[in-house]
Every structure is written in structure tokens, then in C-alpha cells.
Chain A
């Protein structure tokens, strides 16, 4: 299947949105989405790491040996994460404090592993750049939507701007942990309704996820996938 350049780019934003369709990278998506500003920062930071790792991995795809590719990816992704972390600490300290522990945790974001394993290691550099930008913007967009809903209703503000009426009638649960789960559940239900794809049994976690090999999160696939996936990474 050969995709046009435009398709590679837009696919990650809408049809294969990493958060809303593939249900990947939930931890950062839910944790930092209490403020739209933080969500934007997190989204862009992740996009940068994704871009960097996709470029390097697709560039080195013929050099990295198949058996040791996962440790190579881990080191590359972690290095880009450190770069982003230091840049944000230096130039946007309030954001650095707001994102807290989730900034270093970009390094274990399974979206990035998924793109490396599913796309960058078998496509050209230019395609991988487009793929990274598409998935990154898709991630940012999803975070921004979740965060906007949670900030508007939970805090009565949007990007820090106070909204009339809503700021006097805040619904606190939206800013708390349960609110994150609920907003995300309703968004997923909306996506299901619109795409009418709920009957193809998309299970939580990785069962219905094309990236199961790369991130190997769920135990159901663990037993079998471990043979060729993350499990026998031959460290």
C-alpha cells in the first residue's frame, strides 16, 4: 500500500489519531490535560521528540541491527527527551514545573515507540518526517481538545483567560482525576459514534492496536508477542 505524502501527514491527525482512535499514550493525555496551555506544551514537546526519533531511526534503518533495535530506539528516544526537557527548563520554566514528572516520561510514551517500530524503520526520512508531524499534531490536537473541555468547565478559563459566567460556576470534578477519565470516555464514544467502527471490537490497551508489537503493553499479547517484540530484545 503506497500512501501519498499528504495522506501520510493527515492520517496521524484524523484517521489514525494516536489518542482518540488508537488509544495510545493515555498517561500524558489524561494527566497534563487540566490546562490547555500545558496540553499544548506537552503536545509540542512530544511532537519534537517524535520528529527527532523518527528522523534518526529512518536515517539509520539500514544500520540498526534488527535484534537490538529496541534498545537503540530506547536510547535515541530518551536522548531526545532529555534535550526537550533541558530546553523547556531553560526557556519555559513555568511549563517545566507544570508538566513535572511527565516531561521525562515522554521517553516511555508508546506513541513514539509505535511510530518508530511501525513506520520509521521501514520508510524514507521524508515520509517519516511527515508521519511524525501528523502523529504529533494528532496527539497535540487530542490533548488540546481534552484539556479545553476540562479547563473550561473545571476552571472557568481557557488558556488562562477567564470566561464569563463559567468562572463563577466551575465544576471541580473536571479538573480532578475522575473528570479526565470521564471526558476521555465521552470523546471516545463520540469518535465511535462518528466512525461507526465500534463493532470491530476495539479492546482497551493493545489488543486492537496495530502497535501492540512495539509497545507490548498488554499481557494478552505478551506471551506470544514477546517472542519477536519487546520481550526478546536481546539486551
Chain B
């Protein structure tokens, strides 16, 4: 199988920085706001998302291309993908618990939350929509997961600072967290044009 290494790097960079799932596309905002309180849990959540995204992309791509498309069942995509992801997550949980208890101890809590994480479903669907090859799909899933991880970890640091501040009463809690997210999202806009400049669009 020949593959275009440059294209893969572009997909990766774009998924991590320019089209960051949380900060640019609003995918997976709920866990992003909910779990970013301390570094340990945000690292755990980030790793779990990355892991499940990669697994989900590696399983759903063949299902779509080899099973659904040839049989004219494209419309079943949403239902099938959700069920596959839900089953996969359970399977991964059981396997990890049995064979890699150390990893399960750090990721286990976060795995069940993946089924309703829209970022995971989104990455599998957008891989198909963009017509990626299998390798490209895996790279884009890895990039999306890493982008999520990066955003989580950075945002945890930001929130630690915000926690020490004293906003107006009405802004306490969610609103001030959202404002911090807005500023972080603004910072990621600095990556606009990075791809074009580095790889000549």
C-alpha cells in the first residue's frame, strides 16, 4: 500500500491544531468543561478519548467501506456506528480489566463515558465524509484525539488560575469557565494558515 506521507502530516497537523475538535469545532465540549478540573482526570480523559477514537476509526472504516457501501446501506451509518462504538467500548473495558489492569485503573472510569461523546462519533463519520483512505482515517482519528488531549491539558492549567480569581457573582461557575475557553479558543486561531505556510497548501 503506497501512501503520501506529506498528506498524512497535513491531516495530523490540521486535526491537532487548526481544526481542533473542541476549540474550533465544538465537538466534545461537555467532557471538556466537566472533567478539566484537575490534571490527573483530564490526562485520563484525554488518553481515553484518544484510545477510543483510534479504535473506533479502525473498526468503523472497514464496516462502512466493505459492508455498508457495497450493499446500499449508507443510511444505516449513524445507527451502526453508535452501536459499534458502544459495543467496542464495553469490549475494550472487559479486555483491559482482564489483561492490562494497570491501564484499566487509569482509564477505566472514563471509558463508559465515550459512547455519548459526540467527538468520537464525529471523527468516525467525518473520516467517511472526507473520503479518507484507511491510513488517513487512522491518522486523522489519532490527531483528533491528541488535539482533544492537548486542549484538555492546557485548559486544566488555565482553570487552575481562574479558580484563584474572583469573578462577579453571576459569572461564577460555568460562565467564567466558558470565557476562559473562549480565550483559549482565540489562542488557537493563531494556528490559522500554519498548514498553508508550512506545506504550501
Contact = CB atoms under 8 A, between A and B. Distances in A.
B122 to A, nearest CB: 5
Contacts of B12: none
A29 to B, nearest CB: 8
B173 A201 contact: yes
Contacts of A232: 112
A217 B45 CA distance: 11
B69 interface: no
Given A27-B30, A108-B116, A217-B34, A74 B90 contact: no
A78 B79 contact: yes
A101 B82 contact: no
B87 interface: yes
B29 interface: yes
SS class, residues of chain B in contact with chain A: helix
A100 to B, nearest CB: 8
Interface in A113-157: 113
SS class, residues of chain A in contact with chain B: helix
* Tier of interface size on chain B: 35 or more
Contacts, number: 188
B174 to A, nearest CB: 5
* Tier of interface size on chain A: 35 or more
B97 interface: no
Interface stretch (A6-14, A54-62, A80-88, A161-169): A80-88
A207 B35 CA distance: 10
Interface string B36-63: 0100010011000000000000000000
Interface stretch (B2-10, B132-140, B142-150, B175-183): B175-183
Contact of B118 (A71, A75, A105, A222): A105
A6 B125 CA distance: 40
B113 interface: yes
Interface string B152-194: 0000000000000000111111111111011101100100000
Contacts of B115: 74, 108, 230
Interface in A27-85: 27-28, 30-31, 71, 74-75, 78-79, 81-82, 85
A141 B25 CA distance: 22
B23 A203 contact: no
Contacts of A173: 186
Given A78-B79, A223-B109, A231-B112, A198 B121 contact: no
Nearest to B90: A235
B189 A202 contact: no
Contact of A205 (B25, B34, B87, B182): B34
Interface of B: 23-31, 33-35, 37, 41, 44-45, 75-79, 82-83, 86-87, 90, 109-110, 112-113, 115-118, 121-122, 125-126, 129, 168-179, 181-183, 185-186, 189
Given A220-B37, A220-B41, A233-B86, 5 more contacts: A28-B26, A105-B121, A202-B173, A217-B34, A229-B112
